[in-house]
């Protein structure tokens, strides 16, 4: 299936690994040019342009959009992917500092990047994809600030999508469940963090999480990246102001 993304320009945040890297690869494979941001460099074979930008900083959205426009002269797609979480032991364990840190990274980075990109996206009749999480609908007591930030992102997707629909801009969310990425499986990932606060051995935590997924496994980063590429394409032209779940059947829907 040709997704009709040839010649399009995409800005993807948090592009060094995981879902961001997979989304960039899927977009490149469909003929798009990708400008990526992250604090660490992407893989050498990523076939993208890259700027080292900490997206949690207040000026980062403006900087990323300006750098992309300088490089390519246009902007058609924004994938607000950057994000992280810190596993805790409950509400009392999350200080104001933790709330501020993850609110800035998980929500405000998307707000600021979208705000900076919208003039160009109105001109190109483009797309914003906000990478959320099933925790936006299924909050977890170990990640209060992360869950709240993702719920707010879902709200942003609906509101922004409805406001800008008449101006030709679509805004869509993607809510993954557990994904085979360093965010879950890495040395500082969810399993390792949960183990460090007494939840058991990391391998047992991963095995238990896999068993909780109806399909019996985590999603792959490529599956999420391919979904993002589809939602960016004209094939998904009537999908906006909503968040699409990709979680192997965890989230109950009717």
62: three-class secondary structure by DSSP: helix
- Please report how the helices 96-103 and 144-164 are oriented relative to each other, as an axis angle in degrees rounded to 10: 30
Burial class (CB in 10 A: 0-12, 13-18, 19+), 156: buried
What is the maximal distance between C-alpha atoms in the chain?
A: 52
- Cα–Cα distance, 251 to 254 (Å, whole number): 10
Examine the residue annotation and report whether 146 is marked as an active-site residue of this protein: yes
- CB neighbours of 240 closer than 8 A, spacing ≥ 6? 161, 165, 170, 171, 172
CB-CB contact of 180 with 221 (8 Å): yes
- Of 60, 56, 11, the closest CA to residue 34 belongs to 11
Q: Which helix (H) or strand (E) holds 5?
A: none
Say which residue the tokens 């059947």 belong to.
249
Sheet holding 9-13, edge to edge: 49-52, 33-38, 9-13, 77-80, 127-131, 170-176, 242-246
Active-site pick, 144, 146, 164, 230: 146
Q: Catalytic residues, which ones?
A: 146
């Amino acid at each position: 299936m040709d997704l009709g993304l040839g010649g399009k320009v995409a800005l993807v945040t948090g592009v060094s690994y995981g879902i961001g890297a997979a989304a960039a690869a899927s977009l490149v494979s469909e003929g798009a040019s990708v400008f990526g941001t992250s604090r660490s460099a992407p893989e050498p074979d990523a076939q993208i342009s890259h700027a080292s930008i900490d997206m949690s900083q207040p000026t980062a959205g403006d900087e990323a959009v300006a750098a992309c426009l300088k490089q390519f002269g246009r902007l058609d797609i924004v994938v607000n992917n950057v994000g992280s979480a810190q596993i805790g032991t409950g509400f009392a364990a999350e200080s104001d500092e933790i709330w501020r840190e993850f609110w800035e990274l998980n929500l405000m980075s998307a707000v600021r990047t979208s705000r900076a990109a919208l003039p160009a996206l109105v001109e190109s009749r483009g797309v914003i994809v906000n990478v959320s999480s099933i925790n936006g609908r299924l909050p977890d007591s170990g990640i209060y600030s992360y869950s709240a930030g993702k719920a707010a992102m879902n709200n942003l997707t609906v509101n922004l999508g409805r406001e800008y629909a008449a101006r030709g801009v679509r805004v869509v969310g993607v809510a993954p469940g557990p994904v085979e990425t360093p965010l879950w499986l890495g040395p500082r990932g969810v399993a390792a963090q949960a183990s460090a606060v007494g939840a058991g051995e990391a391998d047992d935590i991963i095995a238990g999480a896999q068993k909780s997924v109806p399909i019996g496994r985590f999603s792959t980063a490529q599956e999420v990246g391919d979904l993002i590429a589809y939602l960016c394409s004209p094939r998904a032209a009537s999908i906006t102001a909503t968040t699409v779940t990709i979680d192997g059947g965890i989230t109950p829907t009717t």
